[in-house]
Amino acid sequence: MDFLPENISNYSDQHTSNESDLLYRLNRETHLNVLQPRMLSGHLQGRTLSMLSKMMRPKNILEIGTYTGYSALCLAEGLAPDGTLHTIDINEELETISNKYFKDSPYSDQIQQHIGNALEIIPGLSVDFDLIFIDADKENYLNYYKLLIEKVKPGTVLIADNVLWSGKVTEKAKPKDIETIALQEFNTAIQNDERVENILFPIRDGLMIIRKI
């Protein structure tokens, strides 16, 4: 995921607003105690999610893929005062960590955690989402998108993480892993969908920003 020279990445981090102490502690605990800590959004991407959320002031946010809760807390920073963030993850083993930090945050009453299969949980959520963040199993990205795009109103923003997949999506040889194939299909589908406008930000592992027209 290191697409930029290290000095440029470091300079970008140094000239980006600091993460909160709560996020710093969550970042550290994830790297010390959880497998695959690179799955954490981290400082630069976290501040990006926070900024986008603050610009929108969403009433309702949906996150698919909680992990340890870092991105949820960043997105929650922009919630309307009476807003709610629904976050879904299939891995109940990480719920203890995320729940601990959610309770310690100013958004403890605004975050609702769901454990299970997102494709089964989402249809049961009778909520009009303004902002959606997709960061779960890559092979279902297109399924999540198809499930949501018809339901959301014009102006809704969807953000998909890891769409560059460490650069694998750009390789000319036919990929063998299902994640790369799925992400290539997802990126192509978004680019060709006339219902939306989109921009791919080469931030960290790639953020696809999608706005329903």
CATH code for position 59: 3.40.50.150
Residue 89 lies in a domain: yes
What integer pLDDT is reported at residue 38 of this predicted model?
82
Per the structure, the complete domain to which residue 107 belongs is given by: 6-162
Nearest to 160 by CA among 76, 52, 55: 52
Q: State the total domains in the chain.
A: 1
Domain-located, residue 105: yes
- 148 within 8 A of 132, measured Cβ to Cβ: yes
Q: Answer whether residue 155 is part of any domain.
A: yes
Query: Which pLDDT does position 39 carry in this prediction?
Result: 87
Residue 178, domain member (yes or no): no
Give the integer Cα–Cα distance in Å for 117 and 91: 9
Counting as low any pLDDT under 70, the low residues of the chain are: 1-2
Task: With respect to residue 129, please indicate whether it lies within any of the assigned structural domains.
Answer: yes
* Domain-embedded: residue 108: yes
pLDDT at 176: 87
Tell me whether residue 194 is in a domain. no
Q: Which of 63, 107, 120, 106 is nearest to 86 (CA)?
A: 63
Q: CA 110 to CA 61: how far, in whole Å? A: 10
CA distance to 66, 129, 156, 166, 181, per residue, from 133 (Å): 10, 11, 11, 19, 20
Where would I find the H helices in the chain?
6-14, 21-33, 42-56, 70-76, 95-104, 118-121, 141-149, 178-192
pLDDT at position 1: 63
State the pTM of this model: 0.96
Provide the residue type at 48 as one letter.
T
Check residue 78 and give its pLDDT. 98
Burial class (CB in 10 A: 0-12, 13-18, 19+), 80: middle
Is 172 a member of any domain?
A: no
The token pair that represents 30 in the structure block: 């994830």
